[in-house]
Structure 1
Amino acid sequence: MSSLPRNGRPYAKLASQLFAYACAACAFSSVAILVLLLSQMLRFAWGWLDWQFITSFDSQLSPDKAGVRAALVGSIYLIALTTLFSVPIGVGSAIYLEEYAQRSRWRGIVQTNIANLAGVPSIVYGILGLGLFVRGMQMGAGVLAGALTLTLVVLPIVILASQEALRAVPSTIRQASYALGATRWQTVWHQLLPAALPGIMTGVILALSRALGEAAPLVAIGAAGFVMFTPRGINDSFTALPLQIYNWTENANDDFRIHVAAAGIIVLMVMLICLNATAVFLRYRFGKRIHW
């Protein structure tokens, strides 16, 4: 095997160091931008974010009385239903594609389409949800239609993340299970899924974090931007935190547009951070139980 000439090694080392410095600069600049944005939002939200803001409904006239109660409950409903729909379908699809489907042209086409769907803009899924769920199935712009639309958004991500988690399981686990006489279903249920569970749960929670911050699909299906009640059923009208924030930023009143919207952004970011922290915790906890 040929090696680099001696006079080329210092240049290679210098290039490696420059590349490391460039990566570190990108990482630190990203963190710095995030800290700057957070500090600005906290400065704008200071004095407006309190318990009254969390427990009150929105107000069209008084910024001091505006709150996120309806949007917060609506977002919780949406995420709960989206989880109920996307996790069984997504994980089941990943198991079928990885463990049961034969390597064929049809499987390759399906896999390519799933990968492409993961990169489709969310507004496209909103238009699809409007035509399929709101108008086609006559669901109206309710919680169920919103959750099904968000399920379309995150489903390709859940499938791809679950497939990667299943592929990361060593093949020796499958071979040992089959050698002991286990069936394919027993191998999947008792061996592969427990081993892949940390990766699957991380992918699912990160996908749900994306769904929590989506506003475009909900705007497309006609979800309300101003609601003075919390949904009591899956067909009730609703609003969500991204929609509520968007509605405030469009208000002509500077208190709504700057301070109240900033307080809503902080609430949304806290929910996102909690979801991501849950993903890290679950991955750590379940990962400790698995020894390959």
Structure 2
Amino acid sequence: MRSANLRKQKTAVACLSMAALITGAVLVFVFGYIIVRGLPVINLRFLFTAPLRMGREGGIFPAITGTLVLTALSILIAAPLGIGAAVFLTEYTRETGFSRAIRVGTETLAGIPSIIFGLFGFAFFVIYLGMGWSVLAGSLTLACMMLPTIVRTAEEAIKSVPLAYREVSLALGASRWQTVTSVVLPQAASGIATGIVLATGRAIGETAAVIFTAGSSLRLPHSLMDPVRTLPVHFYILAREGISPENAYGTAAVLLIAVLLINFVAHYTVKKLFGGGGAAGE
């Protein structure tokens, strides 16, 4: 009996190890393939000049700028709304039909394809509100896509803060708002920041939603109402039209490196500021 259990355990460990190796191999192959194909193209001229001849020559500086502007603005819009909704659901309301409806809605939104968000943004922001293809329309659409992830992760992070922290704060005479802002949110900051990073990772790689709402202009934006092109859109156009496979791989490599750097810097910053744990580490 004991030997049979040991065999089962060894088999399970072997299967799990194989699954981990296959996953790691796939990641290394995908990353390595893109980096190897794209690195020969990447240089200072490629990074800091505008595309020429529809992307056959020149660089990707407008696409880099567009990606950074769209992502930053969408974070500025989505993060306060998502954190505020999470605070309301966890600290200011009980389990009611309304709160359950919000949770179901956010979970449903998290599973909606990006093309649907793009169609919504095109119909509502671009056409109905008259924004046209613009940085603002694209940022608002990306913010809608980021909200479900931020709300759910922030809600779980806030729930992980021990109830005793709230009770002690209230017993010392602090108001509910003071308790939330001075006790709960600082303890949950690590988890909230992780959720924002995850949402940013999704937004920075979007193509369909951005094409429908922000356009694909090769020029640098000078206002929030100007159209803009992002790195994923630039890569998609170059690859789809067969304009320049080399520049397409270079664009993909830059995007991949940018996402990895953003995640690394964000996680490093969170670890330095909050000790990597917050309430979870208590």
Could you say which TM-score interval applies, normalised by the shorter chain?
over 0.9
**Mapping of residues 143-158 of structure 1, within 5 Å:** 143-158=135-150
Aligned partners of 2:93 and 2:185: how far apart in 1? Answer: 17
Cα 1:59/1:114, change in 2 over 3 Å: same
Aligned partners of 2:250 and 2:102: how far apart in 1? Answer: 43
Q: Which residue of 2 aligns with 1:189?
A: 181
Match of 1:245 among 235, 240, 243: 235
Corresponding position: 1:286 with 2:258: no
**Mapping of residues 1-292 of structure 1, within 5 Å:** 7=1, 9-60=2-53, 63=56, 65-221=57-213, 223-224=215-216, 226-227=217-218, 229-253=219-243, 256-257=244-245, 259-288=246-275, 292=282
Aligned partners of 1:62 and 1:175: how far apart in 2? Answer: 60
Query: Amino acid of the residue matched to residue 275 of structure 1?
Result: I
Task: Report the alpha carbon displacement of residue 17 of structure 1 after superposing the two structures with TM.
Answer: 3.1
How many equivalent pairs are there?
279
Task: Report the alpha carbon displacement of residue 61 of structure 1 after superposing the two structures with TM.
Answer: 6.0
Q: C-alpha deviations, 1:28-54, integer Å up to 9, x for none?
A: 212211211222223322431111000
| TM-score, length basis structure 2 | 0.93
Cα 1:17/1:172, change in 2 over 3 Å: farther
Aligned partners of 1:51 and 1:196: how far apart in 2? Answer: 40
Contact 1:197–1:286 (CA under 8 A) maintained in structure 2: no
Aligned partners of 1:60 and 1:21: how far apart in 2? Answer: 53
Q: C-alpha deviations, 1:157-196, integer Å up to 9, x for none?
A: 1100100110111111111112212111111000000000
The gaps in structure 2 that reach 5 residues or longer are none
| TM-score, length basis structure 1 | 0.90
The gaps in structure 1 that reach 5 residues or longer are 1-6
Aligned partners of 1:48 and 1:100: how far apart in 2? Answer: 53
Aligned partners of 1:267 and 1:184: how far apart in 2? Answer: 46
- Superposed structure 1 runs of 4+ greater than 6 Å apart: none
Query: Amino acid of the residue matched to residue 228 of structure 2?
Result: F
Aligned partners of 1:238 and 1:275: how far apart in 2? Answer: 21
Contact 2:133–2:212 (CA under 8 A) maintained in structure 1: no
Q: C-alpha deviations, 1:56-88, integer Å up to 9, x for none?
A: 11123673x331111000011101110110010
For the residue of structure 1 that corresponds to 2:111, the secondary structure is coil
Q: Which residue of 2 aligns with 1:3?
A: none
Query: Amino acid of the residue matched to residue 201 of structure 2?
Result: S
Instruction: Compute the RMSD of aligned alpha carbons.
Output: 1.7
For the residue of structure 2 that corresponds to 1:103, the secondary structure is coil
Task: Report the alpha carbon displacement of residue 110 of structure 1 after superposing the two structures with TM.
Answer: 1.6
Query: Amino acid of the residue matched to residue 268 of structure 1?
Result: L
| Greater alpha carbon shift after TM alignment, 213-222 vs 282-291 | 282-291
